[in-house]
A = this chain, B = another copy of it.
Amino acid sequence: MALIVQKYGGTSVGDIDRIKNVARRVARTKDAGHDVVVVVSAMAGETDRLINLAKSLADLPDEREMDLLMSSGERVSAALLAIALKAMGYKARSFTGRQAGFITDDAHTKARIKRIEAEPILESLKRGEIPIVAGFQGIAEETGDVTTLGRGGSDTTAVALAAAIKADVCEIYTDVPGVFTADPRIVPEAKKLDKVCFEEMLEMASLGAKVLQVRSVEIGMKYNVPIHVRSSLSDEEGTMIVPFEKDMEEVLVSAVAHDKNQARVTVVGVPDRPGIAAAIFKPVAEANINVDMIVQNVSHEGLTDVSFTVAKTELLKAVKVIEDVVKKIGAKGYTTEEKIAKVSIVGVGMRSHPGVAAKMFETLAKEGINILMISTSEIKISCVIEEKYTELAVRALHEAFIG
């Protein structure tokens, strides 16, 4: 008998039939003698519907209000799944983020979990119930306001809860059968990976392979929670995300990832003096905007250009901050570019193999693709390119490294 956390994404609970399907799957796990805790996302499309309503009322809707607004979708899913399971004769019980004990900071729309007071969940399990937790949400410790954990936050809810209650495994059910070597819609030859290590998955998640929210992988790695990414529509085994194992090193590149949700801001004509980077990026961080890559050009006559990338969805917010920064530091101005994308190769094998970067640049050059920005880590290399080349680049890199 195992303790299993199952997380069902938006498409898995996208309509009544799919909710029934999820209920049957949960029931089967329970019938097999396991203890199950379920975490649900909002029904597919619901979060976007709510965001669009808000956006038609304000360009930059207040974030505290956005959290109250968006948290409703997961609550609906949790209640509906509990209703379905009870109708099937199972003891189920919904939990909001607050009821499940998710205490967060007050960084609205991207709150961080401070701790999980999971006793109510454990007690529910003891009573033989199936707790159904509304994902993606918590409650700010100081204010008591509803918070959300950012796009894809239900993954984090599931993995963090699995860590808190010491679950044997956290199953992430989605509409794809697992983690692939590349997006199969772009690369038909892409293969499903049976196993990926946390480090690689972390890079892939942050590079835009939309399988898992980055933070959920961090938490899984930190607390050693095995994560099983699999399809809610079949019984096929998916991809296990596990600690690094020695034999993984043989693979040079595990996957090619891409991310079109990228925008670039360039601050032009920045006086090149110490402290200038901090003067730019401190206000950006204070506005809670995640900066991805940063590139600073060589200085000419005491002036330099500083470019950085943010998620497209945060560009408007970033521009608001940068307008002030430009005035404050006496820069000449700023430009923005939305038609960019990031392509990346990821693999723990890169650690011990030089020459991978050169092969990547060469592969892109052969296709006539210009590289706009580069960023590397021990186990990944990312290039920002023009958005229109995304598919071409992904296919070429897959062909060159994975075949």
Which residues of A (62-79) have their CB < 8 Å from a CB of B?
A: 62, 64-66, 68-69, 71-73, 75-76, 78-79
Binds B, one of A81-89, A170-178, A289-297: A81-89
Among B61, B99, B144, B145, which residue has its beta carbon within 8 angstroms of that of A83? B61
**A54 pairs with B72, CB closer than 8 A:** no
The digit string for A79-122, where 1 denotes a CB below 8 A from any CB of B, is: 11011101100000110100100000000000000000000000
Interface range on chain A: under 10, 10 to 19, 20 to 34, or 35 or more?
Answer: 35 or more
Question: Pick the contact of A94 from B68, B87, B93 — CB < 8 Å?
Answer: B68
Q: How far is the CB of A146 from chain B (nearest CB, A)?
A: 7
A62-B80 contact, Cβ under 8 Å, with A57-B20, A57-B87? no
- Name the contact of A68 in the complex, choosing from B62, B66, B79 (C-beta under 8 A): B79
CB–CB B57/A144 < 8 A: no
The answer to whether B61 touches A87 (Cβ under 8 A) is yes
Q: Give, as a whole number of angstroms, the nearest-CB distance from A78 to chain B.
A: 7
Q: Are the CB atoms of B76 and A75 closer together than 8 Å?
A: no
- Provide the bound-state CA to CA distance between A342 and B325, in Å: 69
How far, in Å, is A237 (CB) from chain B's closest CB?
Answer: 29
**A298: Cβ under 8 A from any B Cβ:** no
Q: How far is the CB of A257 from chain B (nearest CB, A)?
A: 34
- A56 near B99 with CB under 8 A, answer no
Which residues on B sit within 8 Å (CB–CB) of A79? 54, 65-66, 68-69
Given contacts A16-B57, A57-B19, whether A86 and B65 have CB atoms under 8 Å apart is yes
Q: What's the Cα separation between A20 and B53 when bound, in Å?
A: 11
A58 at the interface (CB under 8 A from B): yes
B96 near A83 (CB under 8 angstroms)?
Answer: no
Task: Count chain B CB atoms within 10 A of each CB in A19, A50, A59, A87 and give the residue with the most.
Answer: A87
State which residues 268-313 of A face B: CB under 8 Å: none
Q: Which residue of B lies closest to A60 (CB)?
A: B87
CB pair A62–B82 under 8 Å, yes or no, is: yes
**Which residues from B are CB-within-8-Å of A76?**
50, 53, 69, 72
Residues of B within 8 A of A72 (CB): 72-73, 75-76
A286 to chain B, nearest CB (A): 20
Q: Which of A118-154 contact B (CB under 8 A)?
A: 144-146
Name the B residues within 8 Å of A53 (CB-CB). 16, 76, 80
Residues 19-75 of A at the B interface (beta carbon under 8 Å)? 19-20, 50, 53-54, 56-59, 61-62, 64-66, 68-69, 71-73, 75
Interface residues of A (CB under 8 A from B): 16, 19-20, 50, 53-54, 56-59, 61-62, 64-66, 68-69, 71-73, 75-76, 78-80, 82-84, 86-87, 93-94, 96, 99, 144-146
Across the A-B interface, the 6 shortest Cβ-Cβ residue pairs: A58-B87, A69-B79, A72-B72, A68-B79, A65-B79, A57-B84
Besides A69-B83, A72-B76, 4 new A-B residue pairs in contact (Cβ under 8 A), listed by A number: A16-B56, A20-B57, A58-B83, A99-B145
7 A-B residue pairs with CB within 8 Å: A16-B56, A57-B87, A62-B86, A65-B82, A68-B79, A68-B94, A72-B72
